[in-house]
């Protein structure tokens, strides 16, 4: 299969919404995939909202087991502060089974944002 659609798994992490507080996604299982990329899409920022995004990983789905992904397990980096009407992405090449996204409110009012995880190098293709 030479097309992308049958080789990628795309999972919503943070549904598109106006966020006014820190938001942590559910965990996403990387089983049967060899790579992952977090994509964060933003819209309007209200009240000088200052939000940051990060990726966390774990070997379990237990909330307390998740830790921030170290820079050496990332390909690229996320911006120090999310900007309005933009897209940011970061690749993951760590070895943990589960990932989750955290969009942290540092100050201000709100931001319109969403996040998806794109899983690649599927062990079994085509991906549904």
As for how many domains the chain has, the answer is: 1
**Residue of 29, 31, 23, 25 lying closest to 13 (CA atoms):** 25
pLDDT class for 4, splitting at 50, 70, 90?
confident
Place of tokens 């789905």: 61
Does 1 map to a domain?
Answer: no
User: Using CA atoms, how far apart are residues 124 and 78, in angstroms rounded to an integer?
Assistant: 30
Cβ contact 40:76 at 8 Å: no
Look up the domain containing 86 and give its range: 9-121
Is residue 9 a contact partner of residue 119, using CB atoms and an 8 Å limit? Answer: yes
pLDDT in tens, 51-74: 999 999 999 999 999 999 999 999
Q: Give mean pLDDT, residues 91-119.
A: 97
Cα–Cα distance between 64 and 39 in angstroms, integer? 24
Q: Could you tell me the pLDDT band of residue 2, with boundaries at 50, 70 and 90?
A: low
CATH label of the domain that carries residue 29: 2.60.120.1110
């Amino acid at each position: 299969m030479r097309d992308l659609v049958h080789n990628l798994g795309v999972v919503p992490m943070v549904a598109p919404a106006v966020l006014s507080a820190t938001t942590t996604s559910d965990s996403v299982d990387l089983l049967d995939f060899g790579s992952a990329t977090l994509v964060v899409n933003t819209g309007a920022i209200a009240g000088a909202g200052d939000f940051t995004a990060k990726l966390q990983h774990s070997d379990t789905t237990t909330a307390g087991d998740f830790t921030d992904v170290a820079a050496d397990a990332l390909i690229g980096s996320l911006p120090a502060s999310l900007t309005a009407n933009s897209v940011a992405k970061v690749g993951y090449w760590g070895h943990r089974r589960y990932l989750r996204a955290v969009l942290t409110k540092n100050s201000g009012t709100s931001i319109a944002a969403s996040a998806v995880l794109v899983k690649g190098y599927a062990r079994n293709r085509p991906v549904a």
